[in-house]
Amino acid sequence: MLLEECQPGDMLSILADDEEATRIAASVMQNIWKPAPDDADFPTTKDWLSRLNKPIHLPSDFSEKQINRAREIAADLHKNQGKNVLLHGDLHHFNILSSEREPWVAIDPKGVVGVPEYEIGAFLRNPIPGIAVTPNLQAVLSRRVDIFCEMLGFDKQAVISWAFAQAALSAVWAVDSGSDNYKVFLVCAEALYELGEG
């Protein structure tokens, strides 16, 4: 197998300017999305979010209320979703690297079929673990969402809703794998929920 080497290969997380990093991520997203192949064997966002409908062994600090909210929001989103594309599935600060071929490139795709708005969720809840202690987190997330919507032409409420459901799902996946990162994702989920309600 021949793999491209990224040079200099710095992660997007090295940028101190959060707005610049968000704009770069939006540009990378635009460059990598492709129409979903009819015969491709990729999971869908509905497949992924169906995890919320199965038994979950929640820690004491993980409220069932978040799961119920996420389950309902995900169901509504899938009823009214637009055109599907093939998404990266985990596009955040550590999976966007500086390169010579392009200024920034995406690595480590998971491959999932869904609406483009779904892609933004991973970026919003990163970089971990620092995002959980970011001062004025809700304001930071709001500004990121505004930039994505401005550059990509998305509806703000749709972006926030997808990101909330995905943050709750990521928290469940973290619990499944025995990772304490579920606490980070729960902080993001709560901030996103409040942002959507505001």
Mean pLDDT by 10 residues, the chain (198 residues): 76 96 97 87 95 93 92 94 91 95 93 96 97 95 98 97 97 96 96 91
The pTM for the full model equals: 0.94
CA distance 118 to 64: 23
The set of long-range contacts for 169-178, using a CB threshold of 8 Å and a minimum separation of 24, is: 169/48, 169/49, 169/51, 169/52, 169/70, 169/74, 170/121, 170/122, 170/125, 171/62, 171/66, 172/51, 172/52, 172/56, 172/67, 173/51, 175/56, 175/57, 175/58, 175/59, 175/62
pLDDT of residue 2: 64
pLDDT of residue 101: 85
CA distance 78 to 87: 16
CA distance 84 to 32: 14
175 touches 56 (CB < 8 A):
yes
Q: At what angle do helices 137-152 and 156-177 cross, to 10 degrees?
A: 120
pLDDT of residue 1: 63
